Chains A and B, each alone.
Chain A
Amino acid sequence: DIQMTQSPSSLSVSVGDRVTITCRASESISRYLNWYQQKPGKAPKFLIYTASSLQTGVPSRFSGSGSGTDFTLTISSLQPEDFATYYCQQTYSTPQTFGQGTKVEIK
């Protein structure tokens, strides 16, 4: 199975900050990389697919980049509703696998 490793595991930021989360795959996954946002007690929300395509309705402050093994999720200006845990997921091969998550907390 392909292993997905996110960094950092958590970060403390302020509203308006630029946030960058990285995700590394244990082997090349081309651009088959998704990002999800999860708030406490809620189901994950689909944000980005194929590394950089925004799902319908997702604010443009979210962006994704990368290919091969290294990927990035960027939030250009963090809003109060963005405090959550973010997960990457590879869909290059079955079984699809998730990173361990990155918790974005209020500083």
Chain B
Amino acid sequence: QVQLVQSGAEVKKPGASVKVSCKASGYTFTAYYIHWVRQAPGQGLEWMGRINPSTGDRYYIQKFQGRVTMTRDTSISTAYMELSSLTSDDTAVYYCARDFLFEGYSGSEDYWGQGTLVTVSS
């Protein structure tokens, strides 16, 4: 069965960086885009960007450009999202999710990781 398993909760100080991992199993990792979505406490869903695990091609929304880096390691079927220069506004649950479309791009997310809580606090 398809699974995305994320790394554990993190507590960071303002100005630091965080790197969240997302290990995929149950499908061909390179055949589906991976999306990253975050959710601040009590708030809605915010799409951050996506990576093509096959080519490494990435897209970030403008809000995060310069601060976010999405990478992947195909040898271990794992995607990563690193966010730098953290502020309290970055406190959120960060999700990875698989795109719905096989060997294509739909923008829809059918399988999600369990989420990683990142807390930014001095």
Within 8 A of B (CB), among A20-47: 32, 34, 36, 38, 43-46
Question: Are A94's CB and B112's CB within 8 A?
Answer: no
A residues in contact with B113, CB < 8 Å: 43
Within 8 A of A (CB), among B17-62: 37, 44-47, 49, 59, 61
Known: A43-B95, A43-B114. A98 touches B45 (CB 8 A): yes
User: In which size bucket is the chain B interface?
Assistant: 20 to 34
From A34, A43, A87, A99, name the one whose CB has the most chain B CB atoms within 10 angstroms: A43
Residue of B nearest to A44 (CB): B112
B residues in contact with A101, CB < 8 Å: 44-45
Question: Are A46's CB and B110's CB within 8 A?
Answer: yes
A38-B95 Cα distance, complex, nearest whole Å: 13
B residues in contact with A36, CB < 8 Å: 45
Within 8 A of A (CB), among B43-86: 44-47, 49, 59, 61
Question: Are A96's CB and B44's CB within 8 A?
Answer: no
A43-B46 Cα distance, complex, nearest whole Å: 13
Known: A96-B107, A100-B44. A46 touches B61 (CB 8 A): no
A residues in contact with B95, CB < 8 Å: 43-44
* Partner among A43, A49, A98 whose Cβ is within 8 Å of the Cβ of B47: A98
B residues in contact with A89, CB < 8 Å: 45, 108
* Partner among B44, B46, B100 whose Cβ is within 8 Å of the Cβ of A46: B100
Shortest distance in angstroms between A34's beta carbon and chain B's nearest beta carbon?
5
Question: Are A94's CB and B59's CB within 8 A?
Answer: yes
Question: Are B44's CB and A87's CB within 8 A?
Answer: yes
A contact residues vs B (CB 8 Å cutoff): 32, 34, 36, 38, 43-46, 49, 55, 87, 89, 91, 94-101
A-B contact pairs, 22 of them (CB 8 A): A32-B107, A34-B108, A36-B45, A43-B95, A43-B113, A43-B114, A46-B100, A46-B109, A46-B110, A46-B111, A49-B100, A49-B106, A89-B45, A91-B107, A94-B59, A94-B107, A95-B47, A98-B45, A98-B46, A98-B47, A99-B44, A100-B44
